[in-house]
Amino acid sequence: MNERFAKLTTAHLTDACVRLCIEVRCVSLRTVVPGGRVAGRVLPARHAGSVDVFLEAIDAAEPGDVLVVDNGGRLDHACVGDLVVLEAWEAGLGGVLVWGLHRDTADIAAIDLPVFSLGAIPTGPLRPETRSPDALLSATVGPWTVTARDAVFGDEDGVVFVPADRVDDVLGRAERIRDTERAQADRIRARTPLRAQVRFADYLTRRAADPAVTFREHLRSVGGAIEE
């Protein structure tokens, strides 16, 4: 999974999901260290004011899992700091994703583990909260609820969740989309405009005759890969 994703982007994966009629589940999260990338099985943990839920999740993790922390997208405190990230690194996890804020940015940057979050703030939780009984079963990230039956991929564009049993399908389609788009880019650099490659003049003619014709329909008819 990691080796194949290393040659792809999250944009390729979302396009692949569209082509395969798989719901596109993505959110905008920032990588703490520029260029950070992550791929692995979701390891969910719902935060409730204490790190014990993270330690419990990590204790049951498999190498390569990605700790996905649900802190409700809160912006009033950080729920993950350098010790949690270092613990995840020591356990062989593939990364940490926080639907909320982190702190200890400089120390996290020194750890060789990808971390994604909504941003940073100095303060940690100010008081404990009631822990959910299913705190280790699922995590909500943006509008999406994910479990260990999902995989997560992240880069500087954000993160995307894919059903674990469809990862091979999505990666395969993403690779084909990447190859098509790279060929298109090479032709643009060689002075063949994208408009010519996708026969844009033909599309305008078709649309003039039939306003219901969409650009995506036209792209499918000429083998284009953009917008899907």
Using alpha carbons, select from 160, 182, 171, 162 the residue that is nearest to residue 37: 160
Annotated binding residue 85: no
Kindly state the helix (H) or strand (E) to which residue 209 belongs, with its residue range. Answer: helix 200-209
Exposure string over 33-70, b if 16+ CB within 10 A, otherwise e: eeebbbbbbbbbbbbbbebebbeebbeebeeebbbbbb
The two beta strands, 66-70 and 38-46, are: parallel
Using alpha carbons, select from 72, 68, 81 the residue that is nearest to residue 109: 81
Residue type, 61: A
Kindly state the helix (H) or strand (E) to which residue 12 belongs, with its residue range. Answer: helix 10-19
Annotated binding residue 216: no
Q: How far is CA 5 from CA 9, 130, 174, 220, in A?
A: 7, 37, 9, 25
Annotated binding residue 103: yes
Residue 139 and residue 45 in contact, taking contact as beta carbons nearer than 8 Å: yes
Using alpha carbons, select from 156, 157, 159, 125 the residue that is nearest to residue 42: 159
Annotated binding residue 104: yes
Annotated binding residue 59: no
Any idea of the CA torsion for 85, 86, 89, 95, to the nearest 10 degrees?
Answer: 10
Which residues are documented as binding site for substrate? 81-84, 103
Which residues are documented as binding site for Mg(2+)? 104
Which residues are documented as binding site? 81-84, 103-104
